[in-house]
Amino acid sequence: RSLFPAAVRPLLGLDVGCNSGELSVALYRHLLGLQESEGSLDQPAAGKDLNLLCCDIDPVLIERAQQCSPFPASISFANLDIMDSSAREPFLSSYLGRFGRSTFDIGFCMSVTMWIHLNHGDNGLMEFLSFLSSLCKYLLIEPQPWKCYRAAARRLRKLGRNDFDHFRSLAINGDMAERITQILTKDCAMELVCCFGSTSWDRSLLLFKS
């Protein structure tokens, strides 16, 4: 609330790569100051303060999230490939249009950047970050460190499968929190508002503002 004291309500949030929705729901409760046991029956007016659109490329995970959501009226789960511009742009524009808006107040990207990077390369990562920066006033990102890239590649080899298409050609590497910060601040004109230190997974939480 301190980030958006005078913002139009409801606030609109976008969670990219939401998996089966547990973290999305936890974020929603945290942002509204709700108890873990509270759902839409306890807080029928929650949607007046915050609406959250959560997307993932896996339809099975999205179906599970939809079935288990305690806030079905104010948290929407959608099967969407965020890297498919022909699918994402009309879908996101339609969602925002329901509220008479053109951008989200805040975007969440938790442990997603590595998969975008491995599957779409350096250009894909930069395009993804540029797109999010143009769509969200604030952006909270949890980048996976480079050691996670190496671990993911090792797991793939142990399964006897080919390496990720782009892994060995990635020029954006090393300190991924720093590299992503550079892209967002220098190329996307965002400002780093806060680094919240490291999570239990040894990953930085970075908050940016456009």
The answer for residues whose C-beta is within 8 angstroms of residue 208's C-beta and 6 or more apart is: 133, 138, 139, 140, 141, 184, 185, 190, 191, 192, 193
**Token pair of 202 as six digits:** 């040894």
Q: What pLDDT is attached to residue 44?
A: 54
Q: pLDDT below 70 — which residues of the chain? A: 1-2, 5-7, 37-47, 198-201
Domains of the chain, earliest start first:
10-104 (3.40.50.150), 111-210 (3.40.50.150)
**Calpha distance 45→35 (Å, rounded):** 15
Q: What pLDDT is attached to residue 4?
A: 74
Strand, helix or coil at 78?
strand
The answer for residues whose C-beta is within 8 angstroms of residue 86's C-beta and 6 or more apart is: none
**Calpha distance 153→136 (Å, rounded):** 31
Instruction: Tell me the pTM.
Output: 0.91
